[in-house]
Amino acid sequence: MNRIRNILIILTSVCLLSCGGGGGSGGNEPADAAAYINLVAQPTALDAGDKINVTVYIQEVNKDGIVLKIRVPSSVLYFNDSGYLTVNGNEQNIDPEFYQSANNLNYLVYILSRDQFGTSNEGELRVQFQATAAVAAGTVAVDVDFDDPSIPSAQEFDVANPQFSAVDSVDIVVTNN
């Protein structure tokens, strides 16, 4: 009986040690991340004319900064001057570096330095969009890339080749009134 118990203890120990710490948030924290991000969009069911609030929680921004891209369906438009970056309780109005459209999608792009996130190295970006027409099955998605300090900001994004790989997303539905 002691032998079986010892074998079970050894097997359990091996399993626990090989599994690591676990956790994470659904795969949106790769080991070589430019930053860790999570997306919240509310409401997810809306009528044309309604506004949708999008919040991107940002943590552990790398030393060179990030290029943060938000993608929405073409009938969901950025509400001007609605962008706010909050760090350590301090809120700052922030405009996107790019707001461009291609292939029935709108892209909102922010280039954010590591310094903008203060000593906590975390913050949240809030923006508002307005739905203008029905979307049967749409997605609000976010991507984060490393900022390359050797490339001028004006060249960091090309809507013809957005190099967008969603790190997190939320499905939305827009109906006509």
The model's confidence at residue 153, banded by pLDDT at 50, 70 and 90, is confident
Length reported for the chain: 177
Domain ranges of the chain: 32-151+166-175
Question: Where are the alpha helices (H) located in the chain, listed in sequence order?
Answer: 2-19
- Given a cut of 60, whether residue 45 has pLDDT beyond it is yes
Residue type at 95? D
Q: Which has more pLDDT, 162 or 29?
A: 162
Q: What is the Cα–Cα distance from 58 to 85, expressed in whole angstroms? A: 10
| Contact between 68 and 110 (Cβ < 8 Å) | yes
What pLDDT sits at residue 120? Answer: 94
What pLDDT sits at residue 177? Answer: 75
With respect to CATH, is domain 32-151+166-175 assigned 3.90.1150.10? Answer: no
- What's the pTM value of the predicted model, to 2 decimals? 0.81
As a whole-number percent, the residues of the chain with pLDDT over 90 amount to 77
| Contact between 122 and 60 (Cβ < 8 Å) | yes
- Only one residue has tokens 């960091």, namely 156
80-124 residue pLDDT tens: 999 999 999 999 999 999 999 999 999 999 999 999 999 999 999
